[in-house]
Amino acid sequence: MRIRIKYFGWIAEQVNKREEDLELDLNSLNELKDYLKNKNQFQEDSSIRYAVNQELVDDAKLQDNDLVALLPPFAGG
Amino acid sequence: MQYEELYIRYSRQLKLPELGLAGQEKLQQASVLIVGVGGLGCPAAQYLAAAGVGRIGLLDGDQVEASNLHRQVLFLEDDLGRNKAEAAQEHLSRQNSHIKIEAYPEHLSASNAMNYFQAFDIVMDGTDSFTSKYLINDAALKSGKPWVYASIYKYEGQLSVFNYQNGPSLRCLFSNPPWKEIRCEITGVLGVLPGIMGVKQAAEVLKIILGLGKVSAGKLKLYHLLDDEVQELRISRNAEQIKRVMDKPLEEEKMHCEFAHTHFTYLDVREPEEMPKGLAPHILTIPLSELRNRQKEIPFDRDIYVFCQSGKRSREAIHLLQKEFGFRNLIQVEGGIFALQNGR
């Protein structure tokens, strides 16, 4: 299935893009997290939050054409 | 203020049927505490003062520096070296002499936060550190005040209103600060971004006071400057996170601040394969196995915080560097990176 991923903050910087479409065979957000961890394109941090279709969640079932956002906290002002 | 004077001064907003004299009265009765009078706090304070918010508190312990002037446009060259809260108070009082503007030239702390928060209706976050933002969050929860959050990173801004009408808090979004602190002083920022975000925060404050439109509570607005795009994520209230704050005394997230502070230098002695990518420039990375050969890279002239994964190798590293090379400036981070990440 196709998942659109949006990267924010320093994650976007480390993966060097703000969004991408991935063709993947997986069922849940947790599987996607593992997949991204293995790709090792950005620094893992337990504070990163994930949103599926604009809803912040810890885990969720993923379906074709879902939109997943990766959000790191930042504190500039 | 005389009725006629007031009528002329605020005529352009009084003309809005949703506002009118009743709305102006609400603004006059309202009080807002701005914590941090910098890139976000200055523009917000300017618009809130101009709109006639009756009482504005300005809390900031920092001085105006030359590197602030490109984005903190309330300040003039004459203000360099002055306390920010006091300089801002002077300028804002000249903008609107009919409202009360109070300057508090000190930093927000766990010991003064509750007193300040209890004395105002709404808190606006103009700070630039995780320590301050989490302290604002926890003090706002404990004092039952809504607070308007914003953060920026390079060309991106985040905005939300927390603790508004039983809505979520910052900890419902990010339960703990990360171990890595990123600040403008390292990353750089175009002055207009905090300007835009600060004005958006002021708009949220006005909406709360006036009961206008939809307050951005329960959602996080993500703004990207370069393509002028706003995205929205929904945040739900996490009762457990809120209870965690309510059950413990107010305290600062100190460890993260120290670890992240760019005035400190860190030494990471983990091996290359376990090191996270993208560490800040103030973190030296020399694996324990290479320490003897590379000890010359470690400065003598300042405190160095040494860490590893669990705390075992950093102890070994300090022992080695002290015994064989005479280092006297090494401080061990107990519990290693795990402790840093979990805020212990």
The single residue listed with the structure tokens 């060309």 is: B155
Taking the CA of residue A47 and the nearest CA in chain B, the distance in Å comes to: 5
Q: How far apart are CA B43 and CA B40, in angstroms?
A: 6
**Whether B192 contacts B218, CB under 8 Å:** no
Average pLDDT over all residues of chain B? 90
Q: How far apart are CA B257 and CA B181, in angstroms?
A: 7
pLDDT at B311: 81
Q: What is the mean pLDDT of residues B282-286?
A: 83
Q: Which amino acid is at A56?
A: L
β B330-332/A2-7 pair status: unpaired
Q: How far apart are CA B132 and CA B119, in angstroms?
A: 18
Nearest residue of A to residue B188, measured between CA atoms: A76
B158, containing H or E segment: strand B156-162
Residues 248-287 of B with CB under 8 A from A: 276-278
Is pLDDT at B137 greater than 80 in this prediction? yes
Nearest residue of A to residue B187, measured between CA atoms: A76
With beta carbons under 8 A apart, name residues in chain B contacting A54.
231-234
Q: How far apart are CA B92 and CA B104, in angstroms?
A: 14
Is pLDDT at B338 greater than 50 in this prediction? yes
Which runs of E-coded beta strand occur in A1-77?
2-7, 19-23, 49-52, 55-57, 67-71
Q: Does B137 touch chain A (CB under 8 A)?
A: no
Q: How far apart are CA B51 and CA B19, in angstroms?
A: 11
Residue A76 lies in a domain: no
pLDDT at B255: 43
pLDDT at A5: 97
pLDDT at B37: 98
Residue A38 CB neighbour total at 10 angstroms? 8
Q: Which amino acid is at A62?
A: L
**Buried-state track B20-56, b at ≥16 Cβ within 10 A, e below 16:** eeebbebbbebbbbbbbbbbbbbbbbbbbbbbbbbbb
Q: How far apart are CA A53 and CA A39, in angstroms?
A: 22
pLDDT at B278: 45
Q: Which domains does chain B have, with CATH numbers?
A: 3-252 (3.40.50.720), 263-342 (3.40.250.10)
Q: What is the mean pLDDT of residues B211-228?
A: 97
**Whether B76 contacts B99, CB under 8 Å:** no
For residue B244, with 0-12 CB atoms within 10 Å meaning exposed, 13-18 middle and 19 or more buried, which class applies? middle
Residue A38 lies in a domain: yes
pLDDT at B334: 77
Q: Coil, strand, or helix at residue B232?
A: strand
Q: How far apart are CA B217 and CA B202, in angstroms?
A: 14
Is pLDDT at B130 greater than 70 in this prediction? yes
Torsions phi, psi for B168 (to 5 deg): -70, 165
Q: How confident is the prediction along chain A (77 residues), in pLDDT tens digits per residue? A: 999 999 999 899 999 999 999 999 999 999 999 999 888 888 877 889 999 999 999 999 999 999 999 999 988 88
Kindly state the DSSP code that residue B111 receives in the 8-state scheme.
T
pLDDT at B256: 44
pLDDT at B337: 73
B58, containing H or E segment: strand B55-59
- DSSP letters for B58-80: EE--PBP-GGGTTT-TT--GGGT
B276 and A77 within 8 Å at the Cβ level: the answer is no
Q: Which residues are bridge partners to A28 per DSSP?
A: A61
Residue A47 lies in a domain: yes
Q: Which domain holds residue A31?
A: 2-71
Structure token digits, residue B312: 């075992």
A8 and B36 within 8 Å at the Cβ level: the answer is no
Residue A59 lies in a domain: yes
With beta carbons under 8 A apart, name residues in chain A contacting B158.
74
pLDDT in tens, B33-63: 999 999 999 999 999 999 999 999 999 999 9
A71 and B233 within 8 Å at the Cβ level: the answer is yes
Res. B180 pLDDT band, cuts 50 70 90:
low
Q: Coil, strand, or helix at residue B46?
A: helix
Structure token digits, residue B329: 């400036």
Q: How far apart are CA B45 and CA B92, in angstroms?
A: 8
Residue A77 lies in a domain: no
- A50: domain CATH number is 3.10.20.30
Number of domains present in the structure of chain A: 1
Q: Which amino acid is at B64?
A: V
pLDDT at B181: 57
Nearest to B234 among A44, A45, A55 (CB): A55
**Whether B253 contacts B135, CB under 8 Å:** yes
CA nearest to A39, candidates A61, A74, A62, A11: A11
**Whether B284 contacts B265, CB under 8 Å:** yes
Structure token digits, residue B247: 């059950």
Q: Does B174 touch chain A (CB under 8 A)?
A: yes
